[in-house]
Structure 1
Amino acid sequence: MTTRTFLITGASKGIGRALAQRLAAAGHGVVGLARSAGQGDFPGTLISADLSDRANTEQVLADLASRFDFDGVVNNVGAVRPQPLGEIDLDTFDSVLALNLHPTIQATQAVLPGMRQRGWGRVVNISSLTVLGMQGRTAYASAKSALVNFTRTWALELAKTGITVNSVAPGPTETELFRENNPPGSEGEARYLSGVPMDRFGQPDEIAAAIEFLLGEHSGYITGQTLFVDGASSVGRAAFS
């Protein structure tokens, strides 16, 4: 098995953490970026970085690119700040777009020269089911839709380099943050479940499994695609029994 080294943003919890565990278990090197790097049991190197700070992010990424030969990057960091139409604050709107999009560009550009030189690389952008529409998600869904565009554009630009670019769009996933906002038995839980034909939430490891596949050796002919991992939420509603 060929061992690789991957960079993951937003790696300390949820999907990023589950992916780091999967990759490490498969023998790959993992470098994670997160606002807090206090968890000593991270399965790799976890670096503290404020990815909302453009200059700090640039500095951290330049240092990492000089220390590691990255074979791929998973752009997972993001933020959701719901605002319905009529109450959209433009500063908040801009901050959501910036945190979801700027680190994606910065991280990908930091690892790109090395991947080009080696003629092999993987970029996976974490989008969202909300690109298909969700109330109160003007900023977040716009950012996640932009990541789908990044994916398609970069896939075309890099098609002859040995570097693939794909997206994974999770549906409702039972991360720590999700459960904080939607505890068992809550109205929020019921609302989200009503849109999932499988009638259950995804688990972080299930999303991580899809990402791991797109990072792998056997996915080299897949590029520019968005894979929905959502319990059929993007397909439609299951018939009532």
Structure 2
Amino acid sequence: PGLYAPPRARGHAASAPPSGQRRRLNDRPGRHRDRAFPTEHSMSRTFLVTGASKGIGLALAHRLVRIGHHVVGIARGDAPDFPGTLVQADLADPQATERTLAGLTKCSAFDGVVNNVGLVRPQPLGRIALPTFEEVLRVNLHPALQTVQALLPGMSARGWGRIVNITSLTVLGAVDRTAYAAAKAALTSFTRGWALELAMTGITVNAVSPGPTETELFRANNPPGSDGERRYLANVPMLRFGQPDEIAAAIAFLLSDDAGFITGQTLHVDGGASIGKAAF
């Protein structure tokens, strides 16, 4: 783990588009190129997704491949049904992350990144341990910064790129989530600051903030009929949980050509939970 090896291809090879196609992408940075080029449905791009082996990351990989893109995922675990190229690496290790990214950027020309990897360590205020607090901040923030820094030169040179950070509804307030909410709030700040820095480069930076989403991990901690399920549902006006593919749909839109004039924004995909409780 942590040592880069050529990725195993599952369905597609991790390679740059043909030189002719890549030349068509190389117009001047900052120009409104999207108007003159095909949409994502007819132009294949390559996206990097962290935390890609399950949940929202895996759903996103399947969605992107269905519409013709190639996906390279990074995760600690394996996913036999991953539709693109999956590289196993521990993104909590900055040296391993750096080596993995260096290897990947030599093999592929990436058009965007989705920073989806995260870590939650729930702790009530009176029992927050500083090492745990620092671990949560490190795992949620350091890989996001490293991936963007690794892909930025290539996206800048081509004058087109997409960065999507996955934040959380917990930034609006949640018990036992001091560290996690702080980390996700920092990602929101990253999104706004990076969007300003990159506004003239053809690279957009946005965030997606999911509400309670019915992933395997969520269900393991909140089985049907549990107090946890009732507590979460009480805060969602739609009275249901989101599905991973619904979150993936919002992310895929922000990765598309159609989202070329959207940057620095956080899109809440939460069944209305960020605006209040339903009146019933």
Q: 1:73 & 1:107 partners in 2: Cα distance?
A: 7
Select the residue among 20, 30, 34 that pairs with 2:61.
Answer: 20
Select the residue among 86, 91, 109 that pairs with 1:69.
Answer: 109
Encode CA deviations 1:86-131: one digit per residue, 9 max, x unaligned.
Answer: 1000000000000000000001111111000000000000000001
Q: Are 2:186 and 1:143 equivalent residues in the alignment? A: no
Q: How does 1:156-171 map to 2 (within 5 A)?
A: 156-171=196-211
| Secondary structure, aligned partner of 1:20 | helix
Q: 1:85 & 1:15 partners in 2: Cα distance?
A: 29
| Secondary structure, aligned partner of 1:156 | helix
TM superposition shift of 1:41: 2.0
The runs of at least 4 aligned residues of structure 1 exceeding 3 Å deviation read none
Q: Are 2:230 and 1:190 equivalent residues in the alignment? A: yes
Select the residue among 72, 91, 94 that pairs with 1:31.
Answer: 72
Q: 1:74 & 1:209 partners in 2: Cα distance?
A: 13
Select the residue among 84, 93, 97 that pairs with 1:53.
Answer: 93
Task: Output the amino acid matched with 1:29.
Answer: H
Q: 1:117 & 1:2 partners in 2: Cα distance?
A: 18
Q: 1:185 & 1:234 partners in 2: Cα distance?
A: 24
The normalised TM-score by structure 2 is 0.85
| Secondary structure, aligned partner of 1:63 | helix
The aligned residue for residue 112 of structure 1 is: 152
Q: 2:174 & 2:109 partners in 1: Cα distance?
A: 39
Task: Output the amino acid matched with 1:92.
Answer: T
| Secondary structure, aligned partner of 1:86 | helix
Q: 1:154 & 1:67 partners in 2: Cα distance?
A: 25
Q: 1:26 & 1:111 partners in 2: Cα distance?
A: 22
Task: Output the amino acid matched with 1:95.
Answer: E
The normalised TM-score by structure 1 is 0.98
Q: 1:52 & 1:67 partners in 2: Cα distance?
A: 23
TM superposition shift of 1:2: 1.3
TM superposition shift of 1:61: 0.5
Unpaired runs of 5+ residues, structure 2, are: 1-41
Percent identity for Structure 1 against Structure 2: 69
Aligned length: 239
The aligned residue for residue 172 of structure 1 is: 212
Task: Output the amino acid matched with 1:25.
Answer: R
The aligned residue for residue 125 of structure 1 is: 165
Q: 1:3 & 1:117 partners in 2: Cα distance?
A: 18
Q: Are 2:229 and 1:206 equivalent residues in the alignment? A: no
Unpaired runs of 5+ residues, structure 1, are: none
Encode CA deviations 1:138-173: one digit per residue, 9 max, x unaligned.
Answer: 000000000000000000000000000000000000
TM superposition shift of 1:40: 2.5
Q: 2:76 & 2:133 partners in 1: Cα distance?
A: 21
Task: Output the amino acid matched with 1:113.
Answer: P
